[in-house]
Amino acid sequence: MSTIINSPNGGLAKGNVGNANDFVGNPTDDYIYTSFGSKIFGSFGNDYIDGGSTGTISDGASTIDYSMLTGAATTLTAFSVNLATGIATFTVGASSYTQSLKNIDNVYGVTGKSGINTFTGNSNNNIFGADGLSDTFVGGGGFDTVDFSSEKSGVTVDLSKGTAKIGTISDKLTGISAVYGSTSASNTMTGDANNNVFLTGGKGDIVIGGGGIDTCAYKPSSSNILANAASYSIGVTTSNQIYVGLAINPTVNVDILTNIQRLQFTDKNLAFDINGSAGTLTGNAGIVEKILGAVFGQDSLQNQQYIGIGLSYLDKGTTYSQLVNLALAAQGLSTPSDVITKVWNNILGADPTQSQILNIISSGISMNAFVMQAADSVFNTSHIDVVGIQKHGLAYTPGIIY
């Protein structure tokens, strides 16, 4: 049995050599222990693999990659990884293997043989590497992703139907929230009723959002796609379709996005769900702008940090009314007089008279309802660049809810 122990030094280890962040198991029984953010290449043997404390997709969760078993694909008859139970099993010829997995969040399976990969997630955010050969993916309780980026052919994914097709072969997807498209060919990706994320391959993809808040992400890839927003031409049609293409040649490899609310680049995030005219801003971006104008003032309408925090709350299910209360608390506005004075001044540019304050209080309206009425008024929404946001998006910094 080999024991491989991680250290901060990085590198690659085989057998019982330590001091590594990337590990390759040998064909015998291995014991591998590391910290999160490592990549482990699984091999034969009844192994115990501990990826250290699990993390999120963004902070470097541990990954196990079984691509080394591809050479045995002709005799490999079953391959299953269940991150919830921490068990991986596979059969090669007459030999069966069971591996124990701990603190692993991302799995890349065997390639080259149809219908043998089955992946099941745990409660964390998982990434599953797809082979496109009749694999089965079952998400757990997190925000789970299937990665088709290495596919040579484009993929057609419909999360509402739970299918992913490459040619005539279909994968089964259950509880999957995000998809990485092929970087070598054009993809068609469709969302479901939940919030979805689509990483496009930059080859002229068609992306259709579902019922949630859906995001298209543009990041560096093997196809040398430029991921900073300035490298792209972004256009919005009258039917709210978004066109995204490289500015150097916008007629080639243009992605067509329908019902997509967010664009994500390495240097910028854009929200497009302003929804409606100045008097009817019902989308999350529109609601955030209305609250910012009323409670924080016109100078806050372009504050990317404030916008990002507001979107984070609304995208996770916070209501308009609840976000108003959070905004009032953040401003330290606790009395009716304080609320009325602040909102009145922000919208009309002057303080209300004492008589006006008393009239509003004596009407019996709650301060929450008063702020919402004021935020919805044309006196407030006229300060919002509705047309500009519809055409170019509202820039924001992704917020963190504490």
Q: What is the pLDDT of residues 328-383, one digit of tens each?
A: 999 999 999 999 999 999 999 999 999 999 999 999 999 999 999 999 999 999 99
- Sign of the dihedral through C-alpha 262, 181, 128, 106: negative
| Most confident listed range (96-100, 241-245, 320-324) | 320-324
- Sign of the dihedral through C-alpha 34, 39, 45, 47: positive
Task: Supply the DSSP string of 148-196, one letter for each residue.
Answer: -TT-SS--EEETTTTEEEETTEEEEEES--EEEPPSSS--EEE--SS--
Range of 107's domain? 62-271
| Mean pLDDT of all residues in 275-300 | 91
Q: Which of the four pLDDT bands, split at 50, 70 and 90, describes residue 62?
A: confident
pTM: 0.83
No. of H helices and E strands in the chain? 8, 29
Pairing of strands 163-166, 156-158: antiparallel
Q: Are residues 114 and 209 in the same domain?
A: yes
- The answer to whether the CB of 105 falls within 8 A of the CB of 139 is no
- The answer to whether the CB of 263 falls within 8 A of the CB of 269 is yes
pLDDT at residue 91, as a whole number = 83
On whether residue 31 sits in a domain, the answer given is: no
Q: Are residues 321 and 353 in the same domain?
A: yes
| Mean pLDDT of all residues in 38-65 | 54
On whether residue 209 sits in a domain, the answer given is: yes
Backbone angles phi and psi of 288, in degrees to 5: -60, -45
Higher pLDDT, 198 or 102: 198
On whether residue 12 sits in a domain, the answer given is: no
DSSP conformational letter for 293? I
Question: What is the rounded CA–CA span in Å between residue 96 and residue 57?
Answer: 31
Q: Are residues 156 and 303 in the same domain?
A: no
pLDDT at residue 9, as a whole number = 39
Q: Are residues 365 and 313 in the same domain?
A: yes
Q: Are residues 232 and 110 in the same domain?
A: yes
pLDDT beyond 60 at 399: yes
Q: Which of 213, 242, 271 is the last residue of a domain?
A: 271
pLDDT at residue 400, as a whole number = 62
Question: What is the rounded CA–CA span in Å between residue 346 and residue 352?
Answer: 11
CB atoms within 10 A of CB 99: 24
Residue in the block written with tokens 């149809």: 114
Q: Are residues 235 and 374 in the same domain?
A: no
Helix H or strand E encompassing 271: strand 269-271
Q: Are residues 291 and 191 in the same domain?
A: no
Q: What are the structure tokens assigned to 399, written together?
A: 């917020």
On whether residue 90 sits in a domain, the answer given is: yes
pLDDT at residue 11, as a whole number = 36
Q: Are residues 212 and 344 in the same domain?
A: no
Question: What is the rounded CA–CA span in Å between residue 205 and residue 186?
Answer: 5
Percent of the chain at pLDDT > 90 equals: 52
- The answer to whether the CB of 141 falls within 8 A of the CB of 174 is no
On whether residue 48 sits in a domain, the answer given is: no
| Mean pLDDT of all residues in 287-292 | 98
Q: Which of 271, 304, 332 is the last residue of a domain?
A: 271
On whether residue 21 sits in a domain, the answer given is: no
pLDDT beyond 90 at 130: no
Instruction: Give the number of domains in the chain.
Output: 2
pLDDT at residue 260, as a whole number = 94
pLDDT beyond 60 at 121: yes
Q: Which of 271, 298, 313 is the last residue of a domain?
A: 271
- Sign of the dihedral through C-alpha 123, 127, 128, 130: positive
| Mean pLDDT of all residues in 69-95 | 81
Q: Are residues 229 and 292 in the same domain?
A: no
Q: Are residues 149 and 245 in the same domain?
A: yes
Q: Which of the four pLDDT bands, split at 50, 70 and 90, describes residue 34?
A: very low
On whether residue 205 sits in a domain, the answer given is: yes
